[in-house]
Amino acid sequence: MQTERLVLRAWRPEDLAAFRIINADREVMALMPSTLDDDQSDAQALRIMDGIATRGWGLWAVEVPGIAPFIGYVGLNEPAQPMPFQVDGQPGVELAWRLSRHHWGRGYASEAARTCLDFAFDTLQMDEVVAYTVPHNVRSRAVMERIGMQRDLDGDFDHPILAPGHSLRRHVLYRKRRP
């Protein structure tokens, strides 16, 4: 898929090295449970690639043509574990992104996320897409609001893979329904 400034595409083997750098960056991963070592990063990338190959959609690699061949990912994801926002046993689909901090503040996440929402609603005919983050992740929350997602005050939840008392356990939930 293409936006005005970006290409969202399948991952390539050469993306793995850049993804390792992103996942090892303490600032990028500050609101995640931890940074990832090279093996963890590669395993995550391989799961992402497998998801795209299996479903035909997922967390696409983001490229800025003429500037950067890989700046991270933006896309759609089915959470691996049951989540509190899921309805009637359906896995639910989240909109997610992780970009190199060297490319923050340029509107890339919002631009790519809008395209992913259009794809979810127009091509995949999904009824709803969610996004979530920790309450103090103001950058991600701003993206969610810029792309028209609405906060679901009743949907906030404790992330099931984080232990009680973990500083990042509480999450805010945003939703967008198909127009």
pLDDT band at residue 82 using 50, 70 and 90 as cut-offs: confident
Query: Whole-model pTM?
Result: 0.94
- Distance between CA atoms of residues 114 and 166, nearest Å: 31
Task: Quick: pLDDT tens for 35-73.
Answer: 999 999 999 999 999 999 999 999 999 999 999 999 999
Looking at residue 89, its pLDDT comes to: 64
- What pairs with residue 113 in β-bridges? none
pLDDT at residue 84, as a whole number:
86
Hey, what are 12's tokens?
């390539």
Tokens of 55: 């479903």
The answer to whether 88 and 69 have CB atoms below 8 angstroms apart is no
Across 23-30, average pLDDT = 97
Cβ within 8 Å of residue 53, ≥6 positions away: 10
Rounded to whole angstroms, the Cα distance separating 164 from 101 reads 29
Q: How far apart are CA 156 and CA 174, in angstroms?
A: 9
> What is the tens place of the pLDDT at every residue in 57-66?
999 999 999 9
Domain 7-177 grouped into CATH 3.40.630.30 = yes
